[in-house]
Every structure is written in C-alpha cells, then in structure tokens.
Structure 1
Amino acid sequence: TGTPKGVMNEHLGVVNRLLWARDAYQVNSQDRVLQKTPFGFDVSVWEFFLPLLAGAELVMARPGGHQDP
C-alpha cells in the first residue's frame, strides 16, 4: 500500500493475545503449527510465537508449500 506503517504495541497486549489463543485453540507440546504467513505481515506474529509459547513444534513452510499441488 505504499509507505510501510507501524504501530506501537505493549508487550502485555501481545502476551494476552497469545495466551488467549493457546487456551482457545488448545495448543500444547504435542502439536505442530505451520508457519506459512510471510513474516512481514502482522498475522505471522501469532503463527510464530504461539507454538513457542505453548511448547509446540513450529514447522516452516517452503515458499508456496502451503498451497495445493
């Protein structure tokens, strides 16, 4: 969309969201979570940090690897 934008966010807000997601989706150390969103997008924060917070395995997709063949 042009010029990169950003917003300041407190650590507590991010942690609160991650703890909610861990409990809502019941992510635990027996799970694997696919990291498919490019890290430049805000959604990638949840995909990246949620499994690490829950002790789950983080699986990194190859570029385009999440799409149907």
Structure 2
Amino acid sequence: MSHASVLTAAQMRAAEQAAFDRGVDPYALMECAGKAVAQIIWRAGHRRDLLVLCGPGNNGGDGFVVA
C-alpha cells in the first residue's frame, strides 16, 4: 500500500470546493472516493462479509459506494 498525504478537514473542504469550482460533479468525487476505498479493502484481502455503516453527508455517500 502506498503512503498518501493526510489532509485536515479544512484542507479537504478547500480541495473539494476547488474541484466543484472547476465543474467537477460532487457525485463523481463520491464515486471515486468510494471505489478507491473498496479497492483498498479488496487488496487487503477482505473477501468475506463486511459491514459498512453510513451516516449523513458526503462521507455517508462515500460509504454507500463502498458497499
């Protein structure tokens, strides 16, 4: 697994807003994030049942894509 930079919540909000300002669809970002997490789970060898809990907001939307 590669190491990625960890962003603060404020940095992530700014990055998302910059993407939205350039016309990126919020649902496209959600799909991208969810697929990336699903790939990490798969590559880590988790091939059995997995519980994904999703709350409100964009993080919950990411979780629905993972599931």
TM-score of the superposed pair, with normalisation by structure 1: 0.39
Greater helix fraction, Structure 1 or Structure 2: 2
TM-score of the superposed pair, with normalisation by structure 2: 0.40
Greater strand fraction, Structure 1 or Structure 2: 1
